Amino acid sequence: MAGNRPIAGSGPIVLIDGNNVEITCGFTSFWSYFDGERHDFIEDLNLALWKSLLERVTKHGVQWYMMGEFMSRLMVDIGAYSEEFYQLMNSIKKTLDPNMIVSRGKFNFWGDK
């Protein structure tokens, strides 16, 4: 190893207002493992920065078309969906997957633990 800190860069791609216009936003962060040690504060900082960025972009009207566990939960946590729409999603989930087997936890649909 050359002594340099490894970095990771990423940016979500989003659709804007139902149009096929795509933008990329993101930042480059340092990995929490460096110089043979794990530094949890770096991972915590990276997570806080990502949440802040994604929340700001979402609140400006972006709808994400690819959502993994992290983004789907964040959308619920920041109130991106109206209560009526969230309840509709919940009822569809309960109808199609009553045992909460598929993608458990996405959109904070946990079922019984």
**pLDDT tens digits, one per residue of 39-70:** 888 888 888 888 888 888 788 777 776 788 88
- Where is pLDDT greater, at 4 or 98? 98
37/77 same-domain check: no
With respect to residue 113, please indicate whether it lies within any of the assigned structural domains.
no
Q: Fill in the amino acid letter for 39.
A: H
At residue 85, the pLDDT reads 94
> Residue 26 belongs to what domain range?
1-66
Please state, in angstroms and rounded to a whole number, the distance separating the CA atoms of residues 78 and 72: 10
Q: Terminal CA-to-CA distance of the chain, rounded, Å?
A: 44
pTM (2 d.p.)? 0.65
20/57 same-domain check: yes
Give, as one character, the DSSP assignment of residue 61. T
As for how many domains the chain has, the answer is 2
With respect to residue 48, please indicate whether it lies within any of the assigned structural domains.
yes
78/49 same-domain check: no
